[in-house]
């Protein structure tokens, strides 16, 4: 086998191994978008890919985080699937729109009707609107169970690690962070930059002072010119006095 062929085979093996290792880690249930503003409302989609080679995904169970409850949760109908939102009592009531909320949705379950499961190589999104999102939490972890038609249940329940590495079966995570500034929006000027307005006022004052000084100089010049005009004719007359021709 030539060197070129051996290199090609080795590259193919490495590429295949990389895909094999990366595939399962990337094919878990996720929430999209994965960031929302605390205190506001958000529309998110739980995206469930099918990892099986032969079975269909027939059920998705999303558990709402008990430590970050949400007062209002509504689901969008998904064709070919039924949905059930289960409510439970809250250990600590929530305040929303001026009223006290003592129970909230704790779990949402989507179940496929016959022939409508997520087939191998496909994925399905399940839309949820929720809010107000917690203001005293940095994230919401939705522990999720994915059930296949062959009875297999995959538990996506591992919480994020502290060192930033991805756990074996990561749960969908919605990070709560303030929304970034809108493109093109002018940033607020810091207090230290308020000086230009004062400098502008100072420049105007200097300009006015300069104008006054210029006018004064012009007046003095005109007065000097007038004085010079009054003395000039007398001098000229003395110099141009005619000589009397009758005198010897």
d(CA 24, CA 220): 93
pLDDT computed for residue 150 by the predictor: 97
- When comparing pLDDT for 173 and 194, which is higher? 173
The range of the structural domain enclosing residue 115 comes to 27-176
Whether 235 maps to a domain, the answer reads no
Whether 134 maps to a domain, the answer reads yes
**pLDDT tens track for 39-52:** 999 999 999 999 99
Residue 170 scores a pLDDT above 90:
yes
Domain of 32, CATH number, reads 2.60.40.2230
Residue 207 scores a pLDDT above 60:
no
In this predicted structure, which of 70-79, 81-90, 198-207 has the lowest mean pLDDT?
Answer: 198-207
pLDDT computed for residue 66 by the predictor: 92
Query: Residue 223 carries which DSSP code?
Result: H
CA-wise closest residue to 112 among 145, 78, 85, 87: 78
For the chain, what is the domain count? Answer: 1
Whether 225 maps to a domain, the answer reads no
**pLDDT tens track for 98-119:** 788 899 999 999 999 999 999 9
Residues of the chain above pLDDT 70, percent: 61
Whether 82 maps to a domain, the answer reads yes
**pLDDT tens track for 218-235:** 656 566 656 655 554 444
Whether 11 maps to a domain, the answer reads no
Whether 114 maps to a domain, the answer reads yes
Whether 163 maps to a domain, the answer reads yes
CA dihedral 100, 106, 112, 117 (to 10 degrees): 120
Half-sphere exposure of 36 (CA within 13 A, CB side): 25
**First vs last Cα of the chain: how many Å apart?**
141
Which residue pairs from 149-152 have beta carbons closer than 8 angstroms and sit at least 24 positions apart in sequence? 149/55, 149/56, 149/57, 149/58, 149/117, 150/52, 150/54, 150/55, 152/52, 152/55
CA-wise closest residue to 94 among 120, 63, 41, 131: 131
Whether 244 maps to a domain, the answer reads no
Average the pLDDT over 198-202 and give the result.
42
3-state helix, strand, coil in the chain (%, to 5): 30, 35, 35
Structure tokens at 194: 């308020």
pLDDT computed for residue 201 by the predictor: 45
pTM metric for this prediction: 0.63
- Candidate ranges 98-102, 111-115, 205-209, 211-215; pick with highest mean pLDDT: 111-115
User: What confidence category does residue 180 fall into, taking pLDDT thresholds of 50, 70 and 90?
Assistant: low
């Amino acid at each position: 086998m030539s060197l070129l062929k051996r290199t090609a085979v080795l590259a193919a093996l490495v590429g295949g191994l990389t895909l094999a290792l990366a595939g399962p880690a990337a094919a878990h249930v996720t929430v999209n978008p994965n960031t929302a503003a605390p205190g506001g409302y958000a529309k998110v989609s739980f995206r469930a890919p099918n990892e099986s080679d032969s079975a269909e995904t027939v059920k998705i169970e999303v558990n709402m985080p008990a430590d970050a409850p949400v007062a209002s949760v509504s689901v969008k109908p998904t064709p070919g699937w039924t949905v059930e939102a289960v409510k439970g009592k809250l250990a600590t009531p929530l305040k929303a729109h001026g009223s006290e909320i003592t129970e909230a949705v704790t779990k949402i379950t989507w179940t496929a009707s016959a022939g409508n499961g997520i087939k191998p190589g496909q994925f399905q999104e399940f839309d949820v609107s929720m809010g107000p999102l917690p203001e005293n939490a940095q994230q919401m972890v939705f522990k999720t169970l994915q059930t296949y038609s062959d009875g297999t249940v995959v538990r996506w329940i591992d919480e994020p690690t502290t060192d930033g590495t991805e756990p074996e079966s990561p749960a969908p995570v919605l990070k709560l962070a303030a929304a970034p500034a809108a493109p093109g929006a002018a940033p607020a000027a810091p207090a230290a930059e308020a000086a230009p307005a004062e400098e502008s006022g100072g420049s105007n004052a200097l300009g006015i002072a300069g104008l006054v000084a210029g006018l004064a100089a012009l007046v003095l010049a005109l007065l000097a010119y007038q004085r010079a005009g009054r003395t000039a004719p007398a001098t000229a007359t003395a110099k141009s006095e005619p000589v009397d021709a009758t005198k010897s």
